[in-house]
Amino acid sequence: MNQPTPEQLQIFLDIATEAAMEAGTILQAYWGKLETVEEKGRPGDLVTAADKDAEAAVLKVLRRHVPEHSILAEESGQIGDDNSEYLWAIDPLDGTTNYAHQYPIAAVSIGLLIAGMPQVGVIYNPFREELFRAAKGLGATRNRRPIQVSKTSDLSKSLLVSGFAYDRRETSDNNYAEFCYLTHLTQGVRRSGSASLDLADVACGRLDGYWERGLSPWDISAGIVLVEEAGGKVTAYNGSPLVIASGRILATNSQIHDNLSKELLQVPPLSSWK
């Protein structure tokens, strides 16, 4: 298929923004008023009425504007034609655990993949009133003002962020060793509990790099566009092109990318630590 024009991408960006704002209003309405919090089969993998209603609001907006497009939503799964070149990846509430505890690091994340490549992304944290938007070739913004990645070039002076997958209790491939190892090599590693906001923070220069595993397309599709349009770099751990389905991502300001990739690949297993 032909690459969409900037005008078409702007339309998709505006649609994503409308959907994110609608969902954000619902998340604000439920804030501090949840009656039940359920687990989706794995300890710590939570879902609430806020997740479900926010997702329904996003789906309603997309069906009104682009009914022919396919959708991959965290709570509803795959919707529409599997062969569509257009796939919306939706997380109606990224950071559900935070949200359930009224910790205001949570967001709506809406990304549009075209022919498998993330090209539009909107991330909205209604609790801090931060709206991040980006589209391929159109730049990245926070609250409508341009953003760019940091200029940190020394890994030892960087501030990183990461997270831990829901299966961390059952698997040794759990990111603990990498988290500790890189804490020793940098000025610090943070864990926010929201992959989309981690990527947004790299895009706007608050953080210098991010890596994580066990992720789904709806966690990272929007954030990938933000980081790249803000001047950053996104790859697999080893620096090769990112395969979104792998669930592993390395995103940086580009300045520390090669060094961070190198260190990630040589982290000794936690069982060998004294």
Alpha helices in the chain (DSSP H): 6-30, 49-65, 96-100, 176-185, 195-203, 217-229, 257-265
- And the tokens for 113? 């993949």
Rounded to whole angstroms, how far apart are CA atoms 137 and 104?
31
Instruction: Count CB neighbours of 198 within 10 A.
Output: 31
Q: Is 82 assigned a ligand-binding role in the annotation?
A: no
Distance of alpha carbon 61 from the chain centroid:
21
Could you tell me the two tokens for 186?
A: 């940098």
Q: Is 202 exposed, middle or buried (0-12, 13-18, 19+ CB in 10 A)?
A: buried
- The partner residues of 185 in beta bridges, in order of sequence, read none
Give φ, ψ of 271 to 5 degrees: -65, -20
* Biggest alpha carbon–alpha carbon distance for the chain: 58
Q: How far apart are CA 147 and CA 200, in angstroms?
A: 10
**Residue 93 is assigned to a ligand binding site:** yes
219 is in an annotated binding site: yes
Phi and psi torsions of 73, nearest 5°: -115, 145
**Token code pair at residue 193:** 């509990």
User: Residue with structure tokens 């020793």?
Assistant: 184
Q: Which residues are annotated as a binding site for Mg(2+)?
A: 74, 91, 93-94, 219
Give the residue ranges of the annotated binding site. 74, 91, 93-94, 219
